[in-house]
Each structure stands twice: as structure tokens, then as C-alpha cells.
């Protein structure tokens, strides 16, 4: 992911709180004008990392450069960075114009210039003419846009966003994902966005860093993180996955044969570190599994099973199939097709292709 002109470069960035290492030698760079998400579960160190970029927290080790300049020791107000918080932190007693112009007033700009710039930025976020309104006269989505306008009016090199959609209801969150992405593209400003919600990261990002226990496990574009996860953690955290424990019984060229509790399966070989006799975990996306009404004969990775649950969720159904030995397999089933009326207790056959599975050495615990 090396870029000729990265806006942000972090090198071995580390933060210890006494004996606890919250951020552990994290290195990455963010190209100018891109949307970069840091995705991970609660407590993995996302906020601590973002606060180091903003300057609210100083690193224990490593370097952090914005536009080529080291920010170590530079206070937050001297960094070309602005931040949108989860609860937006708009001032309820000020009107919208004063909220948006707050940073410019602090910088001592003339009233007339502040007015012009506030008007311009409100127009760019799609809220022309709201300057005189109070904060409580805006909808949740409009408040989000005001919070972004208040940052963007300062023309930062980096906009940091700390789970800004977390407090919104589902419908508005879906809408704001699209809106945030198009605002980022329109401003052509580098956004660094932290979230524990994989769907937000997948929809909006040019690149996603998946964080676990203070470290980045993978950095890549959404499709790579989803379809080619580097680690079992990434495979399990981003999207849904069936996890099957197995042992390698044979390796022939690019194909491996595995013994599972249910049956023998074949998967494409991935990584040179896999050997015969080794215990592995196989990850399989629900949408990679096909349902068949009858046994196709000698086909690979076919298993007979009985439908355990069918959860209708609009465009798809989420179906769980219990195989002959009691293992459960989750399958995503499109509504159109011959299985639209599938019911609990129906007998079906599952099939998946060897190149659809990701195989990792088994981890302890
Ligand atoms: P969440 O999504 O819940 O906000 P997060 O991924 O943002 O989680 P952080 O807030 O960065 O995680 O916290 C990472 C770890 O560092 C946590 O275990 C937290 O308890 C710890 N931590 C954070 N700040 C401090 C602090 N000031 N002193 C001691 N430990 C801290």
C-alpha cells in the first residue's frame, strides 16, 4: 500500500498504559484523498490510535508523520487534523453558523470572511441557508453534516472520525454511510475512520485496517479483506463464516485433502506453512455454499443435511443445515430460486468449491 504522497504515515506506533500495551508496533500509511478505516472489536486500541494521530495522547514509541512532518511532541491545535466525535459535540446554545465558524473565530479570522466560509461549507455539505437555525431544529443526519462542516471549514489535511454513526438508528446509519463516502470524495480530503461495524468499513473505505489486541492483522481494500483474509481473526470478524476444524491428510499439488468430523473435504492449498498431519481451521462464507435437491454423485465437498432453521431477511434467507453427524453449516440463500419455500426438516445437499474455503493452522484456545 505504499503511496507516493501519503498524508499519514505511522511507523511502529506503540502506546503503553503502565504494563498494558494498547497499541503494539502499528505501521501503515494513508494515501492523500482516501478513506481509511480502522476496524476492530471493542478494546482493540482503535480510539487510542486515533487519539495519538489527533495529538490527545502521546505515543510510547514509534513515529507518526502527517504530510511528511513528524508530529511527535506537536500539540493537537498545531496539527493539520480535525476530529468528528461520536456524539458530535455541537454547542447546543449556538446557532449552526456559530457552531461551524467556531474554529475560524478561534483562529482570529475577520467576521466577514468567517461568514463567507461558513456559508460555502454548509452549501458543500448540502445544508445551504441553515446558519441561523438552532442545533435542536436539525435532524440526526443534518447534525452529522454540520459536525463535518465544522471540521472541513478548517481545511484539515486529515479528518479523523470516531464512530460518528454509532448513536444513529439503523435506517439513518445506512443512509449516512453513503453520504459520508460521497462527502469524502467531494472534499477529496483524507478520512481516517474508526469503527467496530464491519458493514460501515466495507461500504465506505478505500482501505481497511483490521485491528486486534493492539495490532493490525491485515490492511487492504474491502474486497481483499473480505475474500482473502490473512488470518482467522480477520476471516471471523469481517463478515460471517462457518468454521470447520480439520486435519490435513494429503497434499497433492495445489489441492489438500482434509479429514473433518463429518467427512473428507478438499480445499485449495494456501500458504506454505501447512503440512500433512497438521490441525487446521477452515473458514467458509455462507454465500459460498450451494444447496442441491439431490446428491450430484461424485462431486467434491458434497454433504447431506437436514434444514435446521430458515431466517428470512428480505433479499436472502439465512439457513442452517445440520449434517448427518450433527455439524451445523450456515448458508445464505437468495430468495429467487428453487429453494424459496425451504422448511425446517427438509433434506438437502450442500456443496462448495475447494477454492472458496480459506484454511489456517489451528490456533490454541
Ligand atoms: P471501544 O470500541 O470500546 O472504544 P477501542 O478499540 O477504541 O474500544 P481503546 O479505547 O483504544 O479501545 O482501548 C484499548 C485498551 O486500552 C483497552 O483495554 C482500554 O481499557 C485501555 N486503555 C485505554 N485508555 C486507557 C488509559 N488512559 N489508561 C489505561 N488503559 C487505557
| Predicted pLDDT of residue 364 | 58
Residues ≥6 apart with Cβ < 8 Å to 230:
217, 218
CA of 21 to the centre of ligand 1 (A): 10
- Please say whether the beta carbons of 210 and 218 come within 8 A: yes
User: Which domains occur in the chain, in start order?
Assistant: 6-237 (3.40.50.300), 242-361 (2.40.50.140)
Question: Taking every pair of C-alpha atoms in the chain, what is the biggest distance, in angstroms?
Answer: 79
Q: Is 47 in the pocket of ligand 1 (CB under 6 A)?
A: yes
- The structure's pTM equals 0.89
Rounded to an integer, what distance in angstroms lies between the CA atom of residue 105 and that of residue 153?
A: 11
- Please say whether the beta carbons of 216 and 210 come within 8 A: yes
CA of 214 to the centre of ligand 1 (A): 10
CA of 84 to the centre of ligand 1 (A): 18
| Predicted pLDDT of residue 100 | 94
CA of 347 to the centre of ligand 1 (A): 48
* Edge-to-edge strands, sheet with 20-31: 20-31, 6-17, 61-66, 69-70
Q: Is 43 in the pocket of ligand 1 (CB under 6 A)?
A: yes
CA of 15 to the centre of ligand 1 (A): 10
pLDDT digits (tens, 9 = 90+) for 124-134: 888 888 888 88
| Predicted pLDDT of residue 125 | 86
DSSP letter string over 152-175? HTT--SEEEEESTTTTS-HHHHHH
| Predicted pLDDT of residue 1 | 47
Rounded to an integer, what distance in angstroms lies between the CA atom of residue 324 and that of residue 85?
A: 50
| Predicted pLDDT of residue 175 | 86
Q: Is 196 in the pocket of ligand 1 (CB under 6 A)?
A: yes
Q: Tell me phi and psi for residue 253, to 5 degrees.
A: 60, -120
- Atom 5 of ligand 1, residue of closest alpha carbon: 43
- Atom 18 of ligand 1, residue of closest alpha carbon: 43
Instruction: Report the SS3 class of residue 197.
Output: coil
Q: How far apart are the two ends of the chain, measured CA to CA in Å?
A: 32
The ipTM assigned to this model is 0.96
- Please say whether the beta carbons of 282 and 243 come within 8 A: yes
DSSP state of 125: T
What is the Cα Rg of the chain in Å?
25
Q: Is 45 in the pocket of ligand 1 (CB under 6 A)?
A: yes
Measure the CA dihedral 242/248/253/255, to 10°: -30
CA of 183 to the centre of ligand 1 (A): 29
Q: How many CB atoms lie within 10 A of CB 258?
A: 23
Q: Is 57 in the pocket of ligand 1 (CB under 6 A)?
A: no
Q: Is 42 in the pocket of ligand 1 (CB under 6 A)?
A: yes
Residue-by-residue pLDDT tens, the chain, 365 positions: 445 578 999 999 999 999 999 999 999 999 999 999 999 999 999 999 999 999 999 999 999 999 999 999 999 989 999 999 877 788 888 899 999 999 999 889 999 999 999 999 999 888 888 888 888 888 888 888 899 999 999 999 999 999 988 877 888 888 889 989 998 999 999 999 999 999 999 999 999 999 999 999 999 999 999 999 999 999 999 999 999 999 999 999 889 999 988 788 999 887 767 889 999 999 999 999 999 988 888 778 999 999 999 998 877 889 999 987 778 999 998 876 677 788 899 999 999 999 999 999 887 55
- For the purposes of burial, counting CB atoms within 10 Å of the CB of 364, is it exposed (0-12), middle (13-18) or buried (19 or more)? exposed
**H or E segment to which residue 210 belongs:** strand 207-212
DSSP letter string over 47-96? HHHHHHHHTSS--SEEEEEETTEE-TT--GGGSSEEEE-TTTT--TTSBH
Instruction: Report the SS3 class of residue 233.
Output: helix
Grid coordinates representing 50 are: 486515533
| Predicted pLDDT of residue 119 | 92
Bridging pattern class, strands 158-162 and 190-195: parallel
Amino acid at each position: 500500500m505504499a503511496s507516493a504522497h501519503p498524508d499519514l504515515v505511522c511507523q511502529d506506533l506503540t502506546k503503553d498504559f503502565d504494563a498494558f500495551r494498547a497499541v503494539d508496533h502499528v505501521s501503515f500509511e494513508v494515501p492523500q484523498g482516501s478513506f481509511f478505516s480502522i476496524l476492530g472489536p471493542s478494546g482493540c486500541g482503535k480510539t487510542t490510535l486515533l487519539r495519538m494521530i489527533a495529538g490527545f495522547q502521546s505515543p510510547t514509541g514509534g513515529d507518526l508523520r502527517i504530510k511528511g512532518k513528524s508530529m511527535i511532541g506537536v500539540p493537537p491545535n498545531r496539527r493539520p487534523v480535525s476530529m468528528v466525535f461520536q456524539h458530535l459535540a455541537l454547542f447546543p446554545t449556538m446557532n449552526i453558523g456559530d457552531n461551524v465558524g467556531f474554529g475560524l473565530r478561534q483562529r482570529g479570522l475577520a467576521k466577514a470572511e468567517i461568514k463567507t466560509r461558513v456559508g460555502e461549507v454548509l452549501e458543500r455539505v448540502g445544508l445551504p441557508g441553515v446558519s441561523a437555525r438552532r442545533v435542536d431544529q436539525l435532524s440526526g443526519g443534518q447534525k452529522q453534516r454540520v459536525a463535518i462542516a465544522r471540521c472541513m471549514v478548517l481545511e484539515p489535511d486529515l479528518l479523523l472520525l470516531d464512530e460518528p454513526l454509532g448513536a444513529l438508528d439503523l435506517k439513518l446509519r445506512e443512509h449516512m454511510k453513503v453520504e459520508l463516502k460521497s462527502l469524502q470524495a467531494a472534499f477529496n480530503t483524507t478520512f481516517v475512520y474508526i469503527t467496530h461495524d464491519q458493514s460501515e468499513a466495507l461500504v465506505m473505505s478505500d482501505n481497511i485496517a483490521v485491528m486486534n489486541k493492539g495490532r493490525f492483522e491485515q490492511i487492504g481494500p474491502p474486497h481483499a479483506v473480505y475474500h482473502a483474509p490473512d488470518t482467522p481473526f480477520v476471516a471471523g470478524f469481517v463478515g460471517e463464516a462457518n468454521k470447520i476444524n480439520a486435519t490435513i491428510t494429503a497434499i497433492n499439488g495445489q489441492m489438500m485433502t482434509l479429514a473433518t468430523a463429518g467427512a473428507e473435504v478438499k480445499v485449495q492449498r494456501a500458504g506454505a506453512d501447512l503440512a500433512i498431519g497438521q490441525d487446521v481451521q477452515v473458514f467458509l462464507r455462507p454465500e459460498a455454499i450451494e444447496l442441491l435437491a439431490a446428491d450430484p454423485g461424485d462431486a467434491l465437498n458434497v454433504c447431506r443435511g437436514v434444514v435446521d432453521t430458515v431466517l428470512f431477511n428480505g433479499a436472502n434467507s439465512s439457513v442452517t443445515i445440520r449434517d448427518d453427524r450433527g455439524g451445523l453449516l450456515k448458508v445464505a440463500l437468495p430468495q429467487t430460486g428453487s429453494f424459496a419455500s425451504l422448511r425446517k426438516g427438509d433434506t438437502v445437499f450442500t456443496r462448495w468449491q475447494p477454492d472458496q474455503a480459506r484454511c489456517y493452522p489451528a490456533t490454541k484456545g
